[in-house]
Amino acid sequence: MDNEFLQTEEKIVRYLKTVYDPEIPVNIYDMGLIYKIDLQDDGNLVIDMTLTAPSCPAADFLVEDVTQKMRSIDEVKDVQVNIVFEPEWTKDMMSEEAKIELGFA
């Protein structure tokens, strides 16, 4: 793994931390909704993410927001966002900061 690849992965995470569910004041990364970030050598990016609930009304908004922000990263050529429900999301997946922000800590 070269330094440039790591910098790109850090940038991906930084951008993911700017995506918020409109109903939750914590970004999707700290919420634990991102299950997989797979940046391939050819610049294709695959992200597996989940939702706090299968019927989440913001699902389309979140996928679109993630897709647009990932496409704005020069090293990313194409983006595929998969919504997955395995494993099922629980509040234990949140970062400590997210738990404190939402009063779970």
Residue 50 identity: T
Compute the 3-state secondary structure of the chain and give helix, strand, coil in percent, each to the nearest 5.
Answer: 35, 20, 45
Domains of the chain: 3-88 (3.30.300.130)
Can you give the length of the chain in residues?
105
Q: What's the pTM value of the predicted model, to 2 decimals?
A: 0.92
Identify the band that residue 4 occupies on the pLDDT scale cut at 50, 70 and 90.
Answer: confident
Nearest to 34 by CA among 48, 21, 53: 48
Q: pLDDT tens digit string along 40-83?
A: 999 999 999 999 888 988 999 999 999 999 999 999 999 999 99
> What integer pLDDT is reported at residue 1 of this predicted model?
55
